[in-house]
Amino acid sequence: QSATTGREQLPPLPMSVAALLLLAPTLPSLAAEPRLIRRAHTLRFLSPVRRPGSEQARTRHFEQRQDARHGEPCPCSGDMRRRMLMQGLVVASLGAGLSSPAHADPLWGPKAFACCMATRMGSYETSVQQEKQRHFEDFYRAAARGDADTSRPLRILEVGVGPGPNMPLHAKASGGRVELTGVDVNEDMRPFATTNAKSADVAFQFVTGNAQGLPFDEGTFDGVVVTHVLCSVPNPQEALQEIARVIKPGGAFMFWEHVGSWDQPGLRMQQDLFNPLQQMFFQGCNLNRDSMREVQMCDGFDRVEGRRVYLGDRALLSPHALGIAYKA
């Protein structure tokens, strides 16, 4: 009980409740303009790229929607709704960050999250496919560098396999020479990953497990893959130590991660601002981590080769760190 009022102190609002309450003033604008829901879902309107003529087009549209009586923007205009939505998202993100700690009270359950990841990431995967395929091919050459028996399938572990979007990349990069094990904390990812593995003709086994406590013996795998995993694990260093432990000597670790922007202050500010909402909607995912530095700090690897590059079709997720770490 409170020492000053004698009443019970209320617990902090869950993150999702606080965010939805703070977002409530913008809900009428969302209902009036369904297209904004899709734009808010991908946050494409935050893109730092300005297309030629877009500012003039927005100005003309804004002038056409003036209120005849007062000369003020009409509340139902697209510009005003977009402004209201942005203000609501900013306030909701700040409230979410202040109301409860990270990784608490996700907005949706594991089944809904698995379905979302299986159906809503297609445009991103298409936009990065060529670069990602080359990276997988480099990884498989690194994983096979110390293997004299070319007839033996490579044993590869993918941590955070999710719904299995990388199955075709494994199949092509390995030339069919792979026995793939996928680990994910979300059991509801299993049917999606299994289906994608069958479609790609990849020998695959799904295991429910945690990146910070992999259920495998030391030196089990020729290589380990993670894509968009280090952004969401609670302790990246613990996860990396576990990954290094299960790789055999001479093996390789491939990482492909979205990270915080390193050279665009405006974009980095947006990532920092919206990070609480990102954690709430996407099960603890962080927009602003430096995963390259995390890999370089891990003492389980002898050498790290990586680079930072902007990829993909989603502004807040476009800064990437990708590379390969080698175990001596």
- Identify the CA nearest to 229 among candidates 310, 163, 291, 315: 291
Give residue 299's identity as a one-letter amino acid code.
D
Give every CB contact of residue 144 below 8 A, 6+ residues apart in sequence. 150, 154, 222
Q: Which residue, among 223, 178, 222, has the nearest Cα to 202 in the 3D structure?
A: 178
End-to-end CA, the chain: 57
Between 45 and 146, the more confident residue is: 146
121 Rama sector, left if φ>0, alpha if ψ -120 to 50, beta otherwise: alpha
CA dihedral sign of residues 86, 91, 97, 99 = negative
DSSP H stretches of helix in the chain? 15-23, 27-32, 34-42, 54-64, 78-99, 110-119, 122-127, 129-143, 167-174, 190-200, 236-246, 265-281, 291-297
**Which residue, among 48, 219, 312, 238, has the nearest Cα to 322 in the 3D structure?**
312
pLDDT at 159: 98
Distance (Å, whole) CA 324 – CA 25: 46
pLDDT at 1 over 50: no
Question: For residue 23, which amino acid is it?
Answer: L
Task: Kindly state the average pLDDT of the residues 65-78.
Answer: 43
Q: Of 50-54, 149-153, 289-293, where does the model show the most confidence?
A: 289-293
Paired strand residues for 181 = 157, 205
Quick one: pLDDT band at residue 10, thresholds 50, 70, 90? very low
Query: CB of 142 within 8 A of CB of 328?
Result: no
pLDDT of amino acid 40: 37
Domains of the chain: 110-319 (3.40.50.150)
Averaged confidence pLDDT in the chain: 79
Closest by CA to 81, choosing from 34, 42, 48, 119, is 34
Contact 280, 96 (CB under 8 A): yes
- CA–chain centroid gap for 98, Å, is 22
pTM: 0.73
Q: Give the confidence band of 38 by pLDDT, cuts at 50, 70, 90.
A: very low
Q: Give the residue from 262, 264, 241 showing the smallest Cα distance to 253.
A: 241
Angle 78-99/34-42 helices, nearest 10 degrees? Answer: 50
CA dist., res. 15 & res. 205, Å (int): 35
At 145 the pLDDT is 86
pLDDT band at residue 83, thresholds of 50, 70 and 90?
low
- Residue 29's pLDDT is 42
pLDDT digits (tens, 9 = 90+) for 189-225: 999 999 999 999 999 999 999 999 999 999 999 999 9
Q: pLDDT digits over 84-122, tens only?
A: 455 555 555 555 544 444 444 456 789 999 999 999 999
| pLDDT at residue 68 tops 60 | no
Coil vs helix vs strand at 104: coil
What span, in angstroms and rounded, lies between the C-alpha atoms of 233 and 103?
Answer: 9
Q: Which residue has the higher pLDDT, 277 or 28?
A: 277
